[in-house]
Amino acid sequence: MDANFWLQRWDENNIGFHGNEANALLVEHLPSLGLTANSRVFLPLCGKTLDIAYLLSRGYRVVGAELSEKAIEQLFDDLGARPEIVDIGGLKHYRADNLDIFVGDIFHVSRFLLGTVDAIYDRAALVALPPAMRKEYSKHLMHLTETSPQLLITYEYDQTVVPGPPFSVSKDEVHEHYDAAYTVKHLARIEAPLRGSVPAEENVWLLQQR
């Protein structure tokens, strides 16, 4: 899965993965992170998700990473915010009140650039990557955030029926990636058919530093 796949999806507006409201699982399970006002939440591979507007409305600061600059231009337009844009470390840093987005390859985002975060919300990153990249990504994410607590959402379904993305990520794989650093707690499972008919489950996980 290379960068061009996702850039083409955005260029063609082929973004069926983009919801038209804040994710209901985020709304329901965000309190499990125990965040205080003004906490800073990191959204990897964030796109222009309305989850960002929701988090900002709840009094949190948001930092994201996204490959597509088009997505981030649309995000700031939707928010009615005029960003300051700075080229830094091979990335573009879009900045406005309580919101920082790094545009480019997430593997080029360093701990220094990201700054301190209080939590991670991963709804669209782990499931967007093929298996080999998921291993690299999970290691990078933990290093990047110093294993900040995480609210993680995954899908599980028969990958032979639908090739993905979103990719199927099993319970065993979640534990494989994160058990060494986190206590992994399964919070919820809901039926979430893919493409309207393919049986699938959506799982919510709470990862807390050991």
Q: List the one residue out of 136, 100, 121 whose CA is nearest residue 1.
A: 136
User: How far is Cα 141 from Cα 145, in angstroms, rounded to an integer?
Assistant: 6
Q: List the one residue out of 206, 204, 201 whose CA is nearest residue 185.
A: 206
pLDDT of residue 196: 74
Query: Which pair of structure tokens corresponds to residue 201?
Result: 């489950």
pLDDT of residue 63: 98
- pLDDT exceeds 90 at position 164: no
pLDDT of residue 16: 53
> Residue 174's pLDDT band (boundaries 50, 70, 90)?
very high
Ramachandran category for residue 40: left, alpha or beta (phi over 0 → left; psi -120 to 50 → alpha): beta
* β-bridge partners, 85: 94
Count the helix, strand and coil residues of the chain and give each as a percent rounded to the nearest 5.
35, 30, 35
pLDDT of residue 163: 84
Q: What pLDDT digit, counting tens, does each position of 17-57 carry?
A: 545 789 999 999 999 999 999 999 999 999 999 999 999 99
> Residue 167's pLDDT band (boundaries 50, 70, 90)?
very high
The mean pLDDT of 117-126, rounded to a whole number, is 97
Going along the chain from its start, the domains and CATH numbers come out as 3-209 (3.40.50.150)
pLDDT of residue 18: 47
Q: What pLDDT digit, counting tens, does each position of 94-112 carry?
A: 999 999 999 999 999 999 9
Q: List the one residue out of 153, 88, 164, 91 whose CA is nearest residue 123.
A: 153
